[in-house]
Amino acid sequence: MTQDIAPAHRDRTDAPGATRWWRDAVIYQVYVRSFADSDGDGIGDLRGVRDRLPYLARLGVDAVWLTPFYASPQADGGYDVADYRAVDPLFGDLDDAAELLREAHRLGLRVIVDIVPNHTSDQHPWFRAALAGEGPERELYHFRPGRGTGGELPPNDWESVFGGPAWTRTRDGAWYLHLFAPEQPDLNWEHPDVRAEFDSVLRFWLDLGVDGFRIDVAHGMVKAAGMPDIGRREQARMIGDQVLPFFDQDGVHEIHRWWRALLDSYDGDRIGVAEAWAPTPERLALYVRPDELHQAFNFQFLNCPWDAAAMREVIDDSLRATTSVGAPTTWVLSNHDVVRHVTRYGGGDTGLRRARAAALLMLALPGSTYLYQGEELGLPEVVDLPDEVRRDPAFFRGAGQDGTRDGCRVPLPWSGGSAPYGFGPGGSWLPQPESWKELSVTAQSGDPRSTLELYRSALALRRELPGLGDGTMEWLPAPEGVLAFAREGFVCTLNTLAAEAEVPVPGRPVLSTGPVECAGPTVRVPAETCVWWAV
């Protein structure tokens, strides 16, 4: 069943007297390298994003988050920044960035950009100077003498998220810290010059017109005093929740409070979004206290298995934690660092069915939502990429994260029957599966059964129905394996079971991921299906 009403498009962010747009915004993540290519080099760019903005406006999102497009050697997909005030030629130039912002704002879309404060590139002028000698630039990073009789051992036992030691030795015998790749040396946030530099960088982009920042590794800038040993292996996992001396230290909150004041000094409700790996919902909520950041990704929800009891527990814990500090919960199912949720939920028809249902669940929950590019097309993870095309630095480090991130970064299919499916006039930097011709934007547009039209309908209804977006919810009685909750004038029912479930009819069905026919006081909801009801 698809939407049986056609709501008028209403932009909450432009409504008279509207404020705090971020509390219920739907924000679309653009992985710039893989979104759209304008010049035929096989790599997505800012002009490609600008040209496709009308697609995002029609989809119904409120804002766009752009992954890094700064000058970078691209050792980790642009998260190794050499110049925070320049656009890498791969992606265009500053004029392209400014034009993208103007066009997005013309279409009613806000734009959030990545900022990478935990580390720089090893090609950043600061780090190059630090390697050249023992001058003041070394104080901007974490350089330490080694252990052992000749300093041949790392300063402590910390491991990189990408595998192997978190320390690399320089030619003169010193060691520097990198919690990610060796090409990404960690900055020393105890040094005032580091803080002053990032204040300047934030102002540079705010003055250009960006509406906020997604803060990469927002939990990592401060390390425990003395950098103590951990005493175990398998310390840090991507999107992890471990308690570690280099993540989620209390000192990061002073930085975020300072940045919040900076953001508040600008007109237009500019926001900060934390990519924070925290061990509990309560620790995560600290990042969104009233004087800190506006949003923090809910990775507990992303990591939750397909299980009704587990989902309810995560939802309850998340809402309780964020409500305690007066913040919205920020829901997310996929991003550029994890296996796409179609595949995580089992792959094939089962995975797609569950992914569609999970999307409706997520969009019905109180708070804000992030969509990762391609999830609205039902794209699965590409699991059979040849080794020779992989780019994820974790793939090349033996004890790393299995190099899985390339599979969720394959360029989008837009149209046509053969690769690169309208991605650009040339090829694509990662090969696209042949089956994606059936999942392209053109192939799905206008098909009421498609995942794309499901998302379009859901986002339109989310704007139209007053009970969706920010606010509260109440759980309703439901059979085991079924979740049901009410909001103002609205009910959401999710059947997680592999068989039909009989539930009361709470109102008029307006959207469903599977066929639903009501004829009496109860209805049989198909397996792994979510239904929205107007009450």
* Residues noted as catalytic: 216, 275
What is the C-alpha to C-alpha distance for residues 7 and 10, in angstroms, rounded to an integer? 8
- H helices of 345-426, in order, are 348-364
Reading the block at residue 341, the tokens are 């949720």
Q: Which is it for the CA torsion 112, 113, 114, 120, positive or negative?
A: negative
**Residue appearing with tokens 């760019």:** 45
Which 8-state DSSP code applies to residue 433? P
Cβ-count burial of 303 within 10 angstroms (0-12 exposed, 13-18 middle, 19+ buried)?
A: middle
In 10 A of CB 125, how many CB atoms?
12
What are the residues facing 504 on neighbouring strands?
522
Q: 142 to each of 139, 145, 168, 397, 458, how far by Cα in Å?
A: 7, 10, 11, 22, 48
Q: Which is it for the CA torsion 308, 336, 405, 238, positive or negative?
A: negative
What is the C-alpha to C-alpha distance for residues 282 and 248, in angstroms, rounded to an integer? 12
Q: Is the peptide bond before 380 cis (omega within 30 degrees of 0)?
A: no
Using an 8 Å Cβ cutoff, are 362 and 333 in contact? yes
Phi-psi region of 346 (alpha: psi -120 to 50; beta: other; left: phi over 0): left
Q: Can you tell me whether residue 215 is helix, strand or coil?
A: strand
Q: Tell me which amino acid residue 102 is.
A: R
What is the C-alpha to C-alpha distance for residues 248 and 264, in angstroms, rounded to an integer? 24
Residue 205: name the closest of 315, 116, 337, 323 by CA. Answer: 116
Residue 374: name the closest of 30, 25, 20, 15 by CA. Answer: 30
What is the C-alpha to C-alpha distance for residues 59 and 411, in angstroms, rounded to an integer? 19
Element of type H or E holding 511: strand 508-512
- Please give the angle made by the CA atoms of 425, 72 and 204, to the nearest 5 degrees: 100
- Please give the angle made by the CA atoms of 500, 502 and 504, to the nearest 5 degrees: 145
Q: 114 to each of 62, 73, 81, 129, 215, how far by Cα in Å?
A: 17, 17, 11, 25, 6
